[in-house]
Chains A and B, each alone.
Chain A
């Protein structure tokens, strides 16, 4: 099931990304597992799982590419462009998947990550935690709404 989900997600992302960028997305099994565990804890439609894993993948790879931006690195230009493209593609993809509420929720934490990294604090931050918090908030709002009805 998870293998199918990962394959479907990566296939969708590769279809949606511009071939001009030529980016091959890759996440290790351990990196995927962080969000897969979150998705299993929530009752979500399959397509939504694909979209959320897609968003998680884009954000994770974007941050990784920009962490590899060191002077004289042979791939410096490509790492900058890949990170830049992926951060804008993240928004495009989220708009297309109608996940703008998630974008709004994650925006402050993504911004704070950039602030910390600009200050030389390279502590790992996994977007899975933010996505889980968003799903929990969404669930409690839905439950409040249904009780009110």
Chain B
């Protein structure tokens, strides 16, 4: 069963809302490159994890979910998709979801501004919710997006930095991935007038889930084939991203010297050799254990929310994230 089915969420309704963000924008001609590129990108797949998290968050409020929750869920996907457009330029990635990356089709400068349009459209849409009590609607565009950028800065600053500490790695992962997921659950909850306490618990749940998600993503780079990943295996190592498996492997004095030789000019053979070293060490098992500890933290928060019928949906999310590598 697919995640949205297990959560009893109408994915078509969310997809329509996402598409309508651009299709119903009177300032955007329907046949324009901008409209077509965005519709192609958002229509090309994606798991819609962030919109689903907004909707699940909305099940913890005092009021039923309505238009606002749906709009926030679409906004979450738009913000995520905009970040993917810019990420692909930064990573010089030519493919996205099996097709040409947007900047390959439109050129870099145009693609940067198409991503900007998506962010600006979200702010325009959500600006209609005025007043102090509605300030939270901007958390996705302000706080979560700023943190995402900070995670990217940290990643850039620490490329090929084999002295990166565990704390620095965790902070980067929190900024880059976990905070957006946490914010999705929180704004969903606030959109249906949950208490601040519940919104905070959901934020903590999303943060733990997001940390596990990023760590699993780091693991997949070692364990999955290029076909499954949609990019060459080991590309994190190749691009100088010192992920958790690398950090653990660096603690082994027999492996560290070889890992530290990897730099921007390393050959494919050198990278493959180090990849094999890391795979055959205990680094992957230790990484998996850290991922599991975050899932355990998330499970403890579900227990705290067990008075709410929707806590079962958190369990569903938890199970999905736990089985992501299978």
Q: Which residues of A contact B (CB under 8 A)?
A: 18, 20-22, 66-67, 69-71, 76-78, 80-81, 83-85, 87-89, 91-92, 95, 100-101, 103-104, 107-108, 110-112, 114-115, 117-120
Interface residues of B in 118-163 (CB under 8 A from A): 119-121, 123-124, 127-128, 130, 135, 138, 141-143, 145-146, 149-150, 152-154, 156
Q: Are B27 and A118 in contact (CB under 8 A)?
A: no
Q: B12 within 8 Å of A by Cβ?
A: no
B97-123 interface code vs A (CB 8 A; 1 in, 0 out):
000000000111111111011011101
A-B contact count (CB 8 A): 125
Q: When the two chains form the complex, which single residue of B33, B110, B116, B128 contacts A104, counting CB atoms closer than 8 Å?
A: B128
Please name all residues of chain A whose beta carbon is closer than 8 Å to the beta carbon of B124 when the two chains form the complex. 107-108, 110-111
Report whether over half of chain B's contact residues are helix, strand or loop; otherwise say mixed. helix
- What are some 7 contacts across the A-B interface (CB < 8 A)? A84-B145, A92-B143, A104-B128, A107-B127, A110-B124, A115-B34, A119-B32
Please name all residues of chain B whose beta carbon is closer than 8 Å to the beta carbon of A20 when the two chains form the complex. 150, 153-154
Q: Are A100 and B117 in contact (CB under 8 A)?
A: no
Give B8 Cβ to nearest chain A Cβ, in Å.
33
Give B139 Cβ to nearest chain A Cβ, in Å.
9
Give B84 Cβ to nearest chain A Cβ, in Å.
12
Most chain A beta carbons < 10 A, residue from B32, B141, B149: B149
Please name all residues of chain A whose beta carbon is closer than 8 Å to the beta carbon of B141 when the two chains form the complex. 88, 91
Please name all residues of chain A whose beta carbon is closer than 8 Å to the beta carbon of B152 when the two chains form the complex. 81, 84
Known: A104-B130, A107-B120, A115-B34. A81 touches B156 (CB 8 A): yes
Q: When the two chains form the complex, which single residue of B116, B143, B153 contacts A83, counting CB atoms closer than 8 Å?
A: B116
Q: Are A92 and B108 in contact (CB under 8 A)?
A: no
Q: Are A71 and B108 in contact (CB under 8 A)?
A: yes
Size band of the interface chain B makes with A: 35 or more
Cα–Cα distance between A117 and B116 once the two chains are bound (Å) = 10
Q: Are A18 and B119 in contact (CB under 8 A)?
A: no
Q: When the two chains form the complex, which single residue of B107, B109, B149 contacts A81, counting CB atoms closer than 8 Å?
A: B149
Give A79 Cβ to nearest chain B Cβ, in Å.
9
Give B155 Cβ to nearest chain A Cβ, in Å.
10
Q: When the two chains form the complex, which single residue of A21, A67, A103, A120 contacts B149, counting CB atoms closer than 8 Å?
A: A21
Q: Are B89 and A104 in contact (CB under 8 A)?
A: no
Give A108 Cβ to nearest chain B Cβ, in Å.
6
Give A64 Cβ to nearest chain B Cβ, in Å.
12
Q: B6 within 8 Å of A by Cβ?
A: no
Give B138 Cβ to nearest chain A Cβ, in Å.
6
Q: B80 within 8 Å of A by Cβ?
A: no
Q: B90 within 8 Å of A by Cβ?
A: yes
| Cβ-closest chain A residue relative to B86 | A80
Cα–Cα distance between A108 and B128 once the two chains are bound (Å) = 12
Give A117 Cβ to nearest chain B Cβ, in Å.
4
Give A42 Cβ to nearest chain B Cβ, in Å.
22
Cα–Cα distance between A88 and B119 once the two chains are bound (Å) = 9
Q: Are B113 and A66 in contact (CB under 8 A)?
A: yes
Give B255 Cβ to nearest chain A Cβ, in Å.
29
Cα–Cα distance between A95 and B143 once the two chains are bound (Å) = 10
Q: B226 within 8 Å of A by Cβ?
A: no
Q: Are B108 and A69 in contact (CB under 8 A)?
A: yes
Give A18 Cβ to nearest chain B Cβ, in Å.
6
Q: Are A111 and B27 in contact (CB under 8 A)?
A: yes
Q: Are A69 and B146 in contact (CB under 8 A)?
A: no
Give A116 Cβ to nearest chain B Cβ, in Å.
8
Cα–Cα distance between A22 and B149 once the two chains are bound (Å) = 12
